[in-house]
Chain A
Amino acid sequence: MTDQSQQLESITQKEYKAGFVTDIEAESLPPGLSEDVVREISRIKGEPEFMLEWRLKAYRHWLTMDTPEWAHVHYPEIDYQQISYYSAPKKKDDGPKSLDEVDPELLRTYEKLGVPLDERARLAGVAVDAVFDSVSVASTFQDKLAEEGIIFMPISQAVKEHPELIEKYLGSVVPYKDNFYAALNSAVFSDGSFVYIPKGVRCPMELSTYFRINAANTGQFERTLIVADDDSYVSYLEGCTAPMRDENQLHAAVVELVAMDRAQIKYSTVQNWYPGDENGKGGIYNFVTKRAACRGESSKVSWTQVETGSAITWKYPSVVLQGDNSIGEFYSVAVTNNMQQADTGTKMIHLGKNTSSTIISKGISAGRSQNAYRGLVRVGPNAENARNYTECDSLLMGDKCGAHTFPYIEVKNPTAKVEHEASTSKISEDQLFYCKQRGLDAEDAVSMIVNGFCKQVIRELPMEFAVEAQNLLGLSLEGSVG
């Protein structure tokens, strides 16, 4: 074995740092899915009638659907009857009213993860709607946000307090019939975040939520809905880590964004779910539907993601450009290692006039992983002067991994300008030699080259996320010379 591949091995076998299990009692439904389970979830949440109806419609539709098989991923069939669809940290009385009442065990978990939940939160300027398994246990900065008229709360609370907004927008971007996992999520989603930014308001801080799957065998079904009204701006951060588990865990989230006239939404994700061990045992199945609608004119939605975790990632954050002059952006770094599989990309659907979209996708594969970019750029017949630029680059590390590119381009308007380019390469001996000659060791050299490769994406992240993302990249890939 060469020196370089030994280095690769030592680095890629670093342990998953966020792997630990918090020992608190969870109140769960028994495994299995039926109409009764859907009714029970709705009852526990104390939801109004329209939500139950919607969940049931989604469930009935889900029964008629088949698991999608077109993605470039392979995994054993999931038995949906073996999953428990609801798990909540056991409540003391009627739930915590302040941080003091939150289970100290839980707080320690966040501390280990570096979540700025208490005093540090204010210093860091981040409002956290921390989701521990399925129920939001604590929120901060509600008051400050409320002053601006911003609604930022768990979606289960929003269902009760703002049913008119939920009824109007929930499912308006990702209908429950959309796809297999979206239908499943619509039927059984337990919690998530809801954000409403009123007209003309610029959200004064980065909104953030940390997800964490904890109780074993609990599929987590998050639902996020963000509505930015006319002339508003919001930046939303989502980051996740998961404790080490041997069973495969299913995560089927839905994220919906709505941007009205001249509104801007920036949605950033650092995804670091447990990827499974080096033999592909365990790990999270991350089957997520994320979609944004640029409803208003001159609206803008920007997705930025750094995907390093999960055994399987199946995720296509998309933008439907309905409003004239609207803009969609997608910046992505996807890293796969060991036995990980990622099939990710975006869809840009141009419907309005003078719409433009940019796609920058960087894929890095190492070990025996498979990493695919799958994207669609569609220009409708009425989308005059639509513009798209797509760049997707892949970096290969090791001769047992795979990198794939499947870009679909569909154009029905002759005024469209669409460009796509893709390249695949490895870190060249020359680049390494150059760096080493200047005194960097191999590990730092690779880290520098990888960070350079991803720079276009990393610089789109908010500051505090950029640091975390760079650490993640470093952790996964330093020193892995192909």
Chain B
Amino acid sequence: MKQLTEITTPFGEVASAKTLPGSELGWLQQLRDKARAQFERHGLPAKKVEDWKYTSLWALSQQGFSHDAKAVSLDKTELSHVAALEDAYRFVIVDGRFSAELSELEGLEEGLSIKPLVDGLEGAQTMLGEQIDVEKPGLNAINTMLMHEGMVLQVQAGKTINKPVELLVISTAENQKLASHLRNLIQLEADAEVTLLEHYVSLADTEGFTDVVTEVKLAEKATLNHFKLQHESLAHYHIATLASKQAAGSHWHTNNISLGGKLARNDIHSQLLGEEAHVTMDGLYLVTGDQHVDNHTRIDHAVPNTTSDEVYKGVLDGNSHAVFNGKVNVHKDAQKTDSSQSNKNLLLSRSCEIDTKPELEIYADDVKCAHGSTVGQIDEQHLFFLRARGLDETAARSLLTYAFAVDVLQRIKSAPMRQALSNVIEKRLPKGA
């Protein structure tokens, strides 16, 4: 078999042919050139790269995506069925383009600023590309050379934003086989707090490709409640990086829910760079059919006195394949680190596959680190208990599956958010097996 690096993917050609935002900014051009050189050297990662051991990008490389979208007009009422949150500021991207008409960005609270990427590039030099490693095997290089749209969100020091923000990324049937390369920049100044939902959804059976990188920078004591709901069509490709650098006392609560996509991959990375910084990394994946979902998380405890807490749960049905890799890295001298991680998986069908690998790399001694990982199925005794109380088999199985998954939801503090996500998940639960 040919290595992926030997295949000519069209991404390089697109980069030279297209006029991308920020072409007048020298520093950005340099960044894009560096990324392009990186991509031309290494291409897409092959399966022999450890981080991509269980996920092949072969099919993706064979797709021949288009990079030019027709403008699409959507009805606002149609949008209301799609949006997850009722009362929220909304930033809407349709087929890779920001839509001012559909967005709801009027009357932002004081201290909150939300702009499309093209307007936010100027002055983003110290932020853009700082949280990610362009040389890491993956799609960071492609995203950097091709990013053309996204949301830039900033919160000023000391401001707590009450209304949540929903970033709604919609793929429609009008633009089939479209590749979108999105870059979001989230920056919170000291003591600021905001809640953000990244929401990816398809309106039809789109076969597109969403490549998104979200960079997060949290100053001292800032708090970001960061949710992600990926709910695209079962023919869609979704590859995302979510990376943050956290200063002292900052909190990053992430909750990553993967329901859609033919192939969905998330690389979530937190660097705890100041004392008393904390990260919560939660996630839930419900997959069925021929879906492939891959979550790679990494937490770097770089200084003493930082904490992390991670719970990932998965329910696998059909011929689905799920991959989990959670790495916790405690650097030298990062004493008093407290880290816990768990990954639990429920297998419902004959032909699903789970590959899980929780990793600990520890270079300090005064630490408390634990991880656990399980693979199992619905307990026959639990089933019997419910059947004895009159539930039919299907209802009983569905209830037990929900009970397994609901843990992750219960860890969400905000009630409206919990409700909104819970509604979506209940619809997706397998109805018996």
Cβ–Cβ < 8 Å partners of A419 in chain B: 372-374
> CA–CA, A405 to B356, complex, Å?
13
The answer to whether A417 and B369 have CB atoms under 8 Å apart is no
The answer to whether A409 and B354 have CB atoms under 8 Å apart is yes
The answer to whether B365 and A404 have CB atoms under 8 Å apart is no
Cβ–Cβ < 8 Å partners of B356 in chain A: 409
Chain A count of residues within 8 A CB distance of the other chain: 36
> CA–CA, A401 to B369, complex, Å?
15
Q: What DSSP secondary structure best describes chain B's contact surface?
A: strand
The answer to whether A404 and B359 have CB atoms under 8 Å apart is yes
Cβ–Cβ < 8 Å partners of A401 in chain B: 363, 365
**Interface assignment of B375: CB less than 8 Å from any CB of chain A:** yes
A409-B357 contact in complex given A414-B349, A416-B347, C-beta closer than 8 Å: yes
Which of A129-137, A297-305, A421-429 interfaces with chain B? A421-429
The answer to whether A422 and B372 have CB atoms under 8 Å apart is yes
Q: Within B318-338, which residues are at the interface with A (CB < 8 Å)?
A: 332-333, 335
Q: Within A404-439, which residues are at the interface with B (CB < 8 Å)?
A: 404-426
Cβ–Cβ < 8 Å partners of A381 in chain B: 351
**Interface assignment of A117: CB less than 8 Å from any CB of chain B:** no
- How far is the CB of A199 from the nearest CB of chain B, in Å? 37
Cβ–Cβ < 8 Å partners of A415 in chain B: 377
Q: Within B332-367, which residues are at the interface with A (CB < 8 Å)?
A: 332-333, 335, 345, 347-367
**Least CB separation from A70: chain B residue:** B50
Cβ–Cβ < 8 Å partners of A400 in chain B: 332
> CA–CA, A414 to B346, complex, Å?
8
The answer to whether A482 and B359 have CB atoms under 8 Å apart is no
> CA–CA, A413 to B352, complex, Å?
7
The answer to whether A396 and B372 have CB atoms under 8 Å apart is no
B392-419, CB under 8 A of A: which get 1 and which 0?
0000000000000000000000000000
The answer to whether A410 and B355 have CB atoms under 8 Å apart is yes
The answer to whether A397 and B365 have CB atoms under 8 Å apart is yes
- How far is the CB of B210 from the nearest CB of chain A, in Å? 28
**Least CB separation from A429: chain B residue:** B366
The answer to whether A418 and B368 have CB atoms under 8 Å apart is no
The answer to whether B360 and A422 have CB atoms under 8 Å apart is yes
The answer to whether B376 and A422 have CB atoms under 8 Å apart is no
Q: Out of A397, A403, A409, A420, name the residue touching B362 (CB < 8 Å).
A: A403
**Interface assignment of A399: CB less than 8 Å from any CB of chain B:** yes
**Interface assignment of A198: CB less than 8 Å from any CB of chain B:** no
**Interface assignment of A402: CB less than 8 Å from any CB of chain B:** yes
**Interface assignment of A398: CB less than 8 Å from any CB of chain B:** yes
> CA–CA, A418 to B324, complex, Å?
15
> CA–CA, A189 to B136, complex, Å?
41
A424-B353 contact in complex given A404-B362, A405-B359, C-beta closer than 8 Å: no
A376-410, CB under 8 A of B: which get 1 and which 0?
00010100000000000010111111111111111
A441-475, CB under 8 A of B: which get 1 and which 0?
00000000000000000000000000000000000
- How far is the CB of A381 from the nearest CB of chain B, in Å? 8
The answer to whether A405 and B371 have CB atoms under 8 Å apart is yes
The answer to whether B373 and A407 have CB atoms under 8 Å apart is yes
A396-B362 contact in complex given A414-B347, A417-B376, C-beta closer than 8 Å: yes
Q: Out of B335, B348, B360, name the residue touching A404 (CB < 8 Å).
A: B360
The answer to whether A418 and B375 have CB atoms under 8 Å apart is yes
- How far is the CB of B302 from the nearest CB of chain A, in Å? 15
Q: A379-B375, A396-B364, A417-B376 are in contact. List 18 more A-B contacts (CB 8 A).
A: A399-B365, A407-B358, A409-B373, A412-B353, A413-B347, A414-B347, A418-B373, A419-B372, A419-B373, A420-B358, A420-B373, A421-B370, A421-B371, A422-B360, A422-B371, A422-B372, A423-B369, A426-B365
Residues of A that sit less than 8 Å from B by CB: 70, 379, 381, 394, 396-426, 482
> Please, could you name 11 A-B residue pairs with CB atoms under 8 Å apart, sorted by A?
A396-B362, A399-B364, A401-B365, A405-B361, A410-B353, A411-B353, A414-B377, A416-B347, A417-B375, A417-B377, A425-B369
9 nearest A-B residue pairs (beta carbon): A414-B347, A396-B365, A418-B375, A421-B372, A405-B360, A420-B373, A424-B369, A423-B370, A402-B363
